[in-house]
Amino acid sequence: MSTTYLEFLRAELVPGLMEGLWTSIAVIVPSAALGVLIGLFAGVLRVYGPRPVRQFTEAYVSLFRGTPLVVQVFFWYFALPYISIGGHSIVLDAIPASILAFGLCSGAYQSEYIRGGLLSIKRGQIRAALALGMTTRQAVQSVVLPQAFRRALPGCGNELIYLIKYSSLASIITVNELTGTATTIAKNTWRNIEVFCTLGVYYLVLVTLATWLLHLLEDSLSVPGFERHKS
């Protein structure tokens, strides 16, 4: 051992991981947004869509939930370029490929929670809104969505936490995010335990921070009957 852990941490690990952290965030944030957006659309379509659309979204969800994310990542990065339609094929860089893979997969899971939130709303709620003279649109806006959102929030938040952890898979297709950077440092320094345990701490902090923020959001929206179930 040439240097102590603390020196190693200060001189090499933290600067390296810091750069990786920014790349991680640059992958996580757009994937999360994409996932929520897709999940919202797919969730609403699965409940209210016409039959063929419903079947299509169901198929999408079971396909992306039924196969490992790493297979999907591999597909978008390595296999997609081999598919040519009319002589054209799409080649994605590593970061866009990860965002696409994470967003599509996350959207499938998010749609489950959105769907559950929508289904949990009793029919009487819309009925009562219509009986007061609201249009369907007003009823959806001021009664259905606020309730569905609160019901779906814990699940959707959990899925965001998963996304943070699974963003580490981007390193498999050469993205130099947290895990990718750590792997490089480990290879160069042979200080595996120190590097990877420190990496673990980074994720723990990210995940804990995100959990805490989500709980703050949930509590600020909480009303009696829609409380977060304390674990």
Contacting residues toward another protein, per CB under 8 A: 63, 66-71, 74-75, 78-79, 82-84, 122, 124-125, 127-135, 138, 142-143, 146-147, 150, 165-166, 168-169, 171-172, 179, 182-183, 186, 192-193, 196-197, 199-200, 203-204, 207-208, 223-226, 231
| For another protein, the closer CB: 37 or 209 | 209
Beta bridge partners of 88: 85
Residue 160 CA to residue 25 CA, distance in Å, equals: 12
**Shortest Å distance, C-beta 73 to another protein:** 10
| For another protein, the closer CB: 37 or 208 | 208
**Shortest Å distance, C-beta 75 to another protein:** 4
**Shortest Å distance, C-beta 134 to another protein:** 6
Instruction: Kindly state the helix (H) or strand (E) to which residue 84 belongs, with its residue range.
Output: strand 84-85
**Shortest Å distance, C-beta 83 to another protein:** 6
| For another protein, the closer CB: 39 or 180 | 180
| For another protein, the closer CB: 55 or 192 | 192
Instruction: Report the b/e string of 132-144 with b at 16+ CB within 10 A.
Output: eebeeeebbeebb
Non-local CB neighbours of 148 within 8 Å, separated by 6+ positions: 114, 117, 118, 120, 121
Q: Tokens for 179, please give them.
A: 């895990």
> What count of other Cβ atoms lies within 10 Å of the Cβ of residue 174?
13
